[in-house]
Amino acid sequence: MIDTWRRPTRWGNPYVSRTDADRVHAVAWYAAHIAPHLPVHELRGRDLACWCPLDQPCHADVLLALANGSTN
């Protein structure tokens, strides 16, 4: 499911996750389909915040990795 009204900025993940398994897929879809088309260089050196639990996959992790050139 795609949700844009609660994630109105270009950086938000429009893919909804309702379970832990959904979260993994939502982050993977974001990494594959959304993040590569964003100007992630604008995020380099910045702190990002998200509501995701720290021990769970998060689209902010994808953005940070791309912005800082990480390949992990």
Q: Decide if 63 contacts 51 (C-beta within 8 A).
A: no
22 φ, ψ (degrees, to nearest 5): -60, -40
d(CA 55, CA 43): 22
**Structural domain containing residue 55:** 20-68
Name the domain count of the chain: 1
- Scanning the chain, the segments in alpha helix (DSSP H) are 20-29, 59-67
Whether residue 64 lies inside any domain: the answer is yes
Model confidence, pTM: 0.76
pLDDT tens figures, 2-49: 555 455 678 888 888 888 889 999 999 999 998 889 998 898 888 888
> What's 52's DSSP letter?
S
Whether residue 62 lies inside any domain: the answer is yes
- Look at residue 51 in the predicted model and tell me its pLDDT: 83
Whether residue 26 lies inside any domain: the answer is yes
Whether residue 11 lies inside any domain: the answer is no
Q: Decide if 53 contacts 25 (C-beta within 8 A).
A: no
- Look at residue 21 in the predicted model and tell me its pLDDT: 86
Whether residue 60 lies inside any domain: the answer is yes
Q: Decide if 8 contacts 19 (C-beta within 8 A).
A: no
Whether residue 1 lies inside any domain: the answer is no
